[in-house]
A and B are shown apart, each in its own frame.
Chain A
C-alpha cells in the first residue's frame, strides 16, 4: 500500500511541476469532494434493511482531485461502505453477516475532447484502482479481515456552482478481486476456506460492480 501511495505522490508532484500551467476552473485546480455511490439493493440486503426497490447499498467517498492538464486530472480517494451478507436467508432466526470495507485508491480523469470541457468542468472518463481493506463479522461474533484490489471505470460530469462549489454525478463500474489470480475471484475456488469470508468477498464484488454517483465538493485552490 505504501508503495502505491508513494507512486501516487510521486506522479502528482511530477505532473504539478511539469504541467502546472493549466487553467483549471478560474485558476483553481485542487478540489475536495464528498461523494455517495449507491444502487438499489434489489437482490441483496443492505446493512440494515432487507432487499427492495427503495433499499440502497451505498458507499461514501472522500476524494482529492488535482487538475494536471486542460483535459486531465489526478486524484486519490478514500471510500467506506458497509453491507450485509444474508447467508441463511429464509431461515428463521438467522441474522446476516456484517461486511465492512475501507478502500484507498487513485484515479485518473480524462475529460472529453468536446468543446467546453475544461478540467475540472465537464464530462469525464475516470479510470482508477484501489486497495480494499475488508472485514466481515459473522453472527457468531467471529471477525475476519481480508484485503482486495479493485479496478474502477466510470463516467461522470462535473459542474461548478457559485465559482466554488463542485457538483458531480455519474456512474461507476468496479471489479474487485482478491489477488492477481483470476480463480480467486470467480467463485470456483474460494480464497478462504470458510464460507462467510468467501461469500463476503463475493458480496463486495457485486456491491461495487455498478453504482450511481452523486457528489459535492469545493474548489480549494
Chain B
C-alpha cells in the first residue's frame, strides 16, 4: 500500500514545487522590497520609558551599588537605542523572511518551549553580515547574513549563538565590565589606556567564545546537522565579499555600437586574501580560525548522520535567501553603494537574466553614479578599487576609468535598452529622459558628439570621399591601399568609443527630437555666454531685478508655497545637557517628543494646514500599513538627505511606491522635522567671576554669566516633493534661546504658515 502512494505523493510534490517556483519566478520578476505584515508586535508599541522602568525594576537588589548604577545606565540607553533601531525603517516583522527565521527558531528550540516563548526574532534590512541579541530577548538578524548562508543549519547555529548572548545576559555584562574598566575598578586599577582597551576586548572575546560553545550545546540538542558548520566560519571569514564571486563580463554593458576600450577592464583582478588565524588585539571577537578550530573540535566527526541540514525545508531556505539577496540590491541602492548594487544584481541576473527588478536596479545605480559624477561628487559614492578583492573589482575599475560623459552615456544607453524592453515602465522613461538631458546639457558640445550612423558607415563614407576616383578594390594600387588603411586606423584611434552608442536610439523619433530639444536649450545658454558686454550687462541687470523681487516676496511672505497638506515623518526631539557625561536626556526627550506632536497638530490647525503625523508614538497595533509607509519614508528621506548633503539633485527612483503614497495621503509633500535643545556647558566660570572682582562694574555681568543657564535650540524642517525627489522648503535654524513652549510654537507655526500661504 505504501508504495502505491509514492507516485501520487511524488506528483503532488512535483506539482507543488512547480507551482511554487512559477509563482516565485513571477514574484521575483516584479519584486517589491519586503514589508512587515500582521499586528505590530508589543516590542514596537511599548515606549522606551516604560521598557526602562520594567528593566530597572528587575535589577537584583543583591547587586553592588556600582553594578546597579551601571545597569540602570545600560537599560536607559539600550531601551532608547533599540527603539530607534525598531523605528529606523529597517526592522521587519511577519514578512516572509522573518516568518522563516522564526520557523527555524521553532525547530531549534523545539525542546525548550519556555525559552522559545521569551525570544523574538526580527529581520533587519542591512547588508552587513551580522546578527545581534538584546538583553530583553529581541534578536536581530541582518539580511546580509541570511544572503550569505549556505544551509538552514548554518542559520540555526547563528541563532543559537545569539540565543546564548541573551541567556547569559552578555550585553549588560559587557556594559558593566566596560564601566569597571573605564573607572579603573578593582583589577583594572591603574591600567594604561592600551591595557584598558585590551581588557575590554579580552572580556568581549570571552563572551563570544562562551556564546559559541553554549550556542553549540543548544544547537546539538536540536535535530540540525553539524555537517555544514564549518561553512559558517568560511562565511564569517569572507563576509566582506559579495555572496558569490564570478567574473564580471566585459560584454555585460556592451552592445554592437558601444564597445569599451581595453583599459576599462582589468586583465587580472585582485586575489582574495587567504584566511588568517591572527587574533587582532582590537577585535571584539576571537579570530575566525580560532573559533572554527574549537567548534570543530567539539563536534567531532560523523556524529550526526541522522540529523538534517533542513528542518523547515530546503525550498523555504532557498526562497528566504533569494529574497535576502534581492533585498541587498535595493539596500545598496538606498545606501548609495551603487557599485555594490550593480555587482549584486549582476550575480542574481545569472539565474534570472530578464528580471525587471534587477535590471532596473542596475539602471538606477548607473543613474546614481552619473548624477554624482556630473556634480563632481563621484568619490563620495565610489569605493577605491584597490580595496576590493575578487571579481567584483572589475566593476569598481570600470567606473573609476569612465569619465563623466562616458558614464552618463553608458547609463543612458542601459536605461534606453531597458525601456525598449519594458516600454510601459514609468520609472525607466523618467530615468532615460533625465539622463539624456544631463548628457546633452552637461557634456555635449555639438550634435556631432554622437553619431546617428554606425562607425562602419561613417568610415566607408570617409574612404569614398578621400578617393579622387572610385577605383574598384581589386584595381587599387599600392599607395591607394596604404591611404585607405591609414584612414581606417585613424578613425579607430580618434573616434570616441561612446560616439556611436546611440545609433539605434537615433532611429527613435522621440529620442532624436528630445536630443535636439536639449541641445537647443544648451546652445541658447551657450549663446548667452557669447553675448557682448552690453548685452550681458543688461541681461544680468534683468536677472538681478527678478532675483531681488523674489527675495522681497520671500522676506515678506516667506516661501509661500500654497500647500494644503503635509505629512510629517517622525518629528524628533532631542534634549542634550552638555554639562553631564551622559549628555543625552533620553526620558525628557521622549516626553518632549510626545508634546511636540500635540504642538504640531495645534499649530497646523491654526495655520489651516492639513497635517498627518506618521510617528513611532502615534501607531497602534493594527497600524501595520502606516508602519510600512513610515519605514519606506524613513529610508527615502535618509537617502535623499544624503543626496542633499552631497549637493546632488536626484530624481525620484521609486515611482510606483511614491504614487501609491501620494494617492493614499492626498499630498506629495512630506516633511522631515525636529528640534534639539542643548544646555551649554559654561567654561571658566571661576575665572570670569574672580576676574570681575578686579573691575567692579563687571560684577553684575559676571554674576549673570555664572548663575544663568545657557541654552541653544536647533530646528530643522525639510519638505520634500516626493514625486520629484527634490526639497521644496528648507528651514534649518540655530535659535539662541531656551526651548520654551512659545519658541517651539512660534517656529512651527512660522513653518506651517510659509507652507500654507500663497503668493
Contacts and interface: CB of A to CB of B under 8 A. Distances in A.
B733 interface: yes
Contact of B603 (A22, A26, A116, A121): A26
B606 A114 contact: no
Nearest to B744: A116
Contact of B742 (A23, A25, A69, A115): A25
Given A23-B749, A26-B606, A121 B735 contact: no
A159 B742 contact: yes
A70 interface: yes
Contact of B556 (A19, A26, A161, A163): A19
Nearest to A166: B742
Contact of B753 (A19, A23, A121): A23
Given A116-B713, A160-B742, A163-B745, A23 B736 contact: no
A23 to B, nearest CB: 4
Contacts of B757: 21
Interface in B548-566: 555-558, 560
A27 interface: yes
A205 interface: no
Contacts of A23: 558, 746, 749-750, 753-754
B607 A27 contact: yes
B745 A26 contact: yes
Contact of B740 (A25, A70, A159): A159
A19 B560 CA distance: 13
Interface string B451-483: 000000000000000000000000000000000
Contacts of A137: none
Interface residues of B, number: 27
> Which of B606, B742, B749, B750 is most buried by chain A, counting CB atoms within 10 A of its CB?
B742
A116 B740 CA distance: 11
A190 B606 CA distance: 57
Contact residues of B: prevailing secondary structure:
helix
A116 B737 contact: yes
Nearest to A19: B556
Contact of B743 (A19, A69, A116, A163): A116
B3 interface: no
A21 B558 CA distance: 9
Interface string B510-541: 00000000000000000000000000000000
Contacts of B747: 116, 118
B736 A27 contact: no
B747 to A, nearest CB: 7
B409 to A, nearest CB: 45
A21 B713 contact: no
Interface string A114-143: 111010011000000000000000000000
Contacts of B743: 116, 121
Contacts of A70: 555, 558, 750
Nearest to B734: A115
> Which of A115, A116, A161 is most buried by chain B, counting CB atoms within 10 A of its CB?
A116
Nearest to B603: A26
Contacts of B606: 26-27
A218 to B, nearest CB: 13
Nearest to A163: B745
B749 A121 contact: no
Nearest to B607: A27
Contacts of B737: 116, 122
Interface string A16-39: 000101110111000000000000
Contacts of A69: 556
Interface string B708-751: 00000101000000000000000001111100111101110110
A159 B735 CA distance: 14
Given A26-B749, A160-B746, A115 B736 contact: yes
A157 to B, nearest CB: 10
A72 to B, nearest CB: 11
Contacts of B715: 115
B556 A25 contact: no
Given A25-B742, A159-B742, A160-B742, A118 B750 contact: yes
Interface in A144-194: 159-161, 163
Given A25-B746, A118-B750, A122-B737, 15 more contacts: A21-B560, A22-B556, A23-B558, A23-B749, A23-B753, A26-B603, A27-B606, A27-B607, A69-B556, A115-B734, A116-B733, A116-B737, A118-B747, A121-B743, A163-B742
- Which 4 A/B pairs are nearest by Cβ-Cβ distance? A116-B735, A160-B742, A115-B733, A23-B753
17 contacts: A21-B556, A23-B746, A25-B742, A25-B749, A26-B606, A26-B746, A27-B606, A114-B735, A115-B733, A115-B735, A116-B737, A116-B747, A118-B750, A121-B743, A122-B737, A160-B745, A161-B742
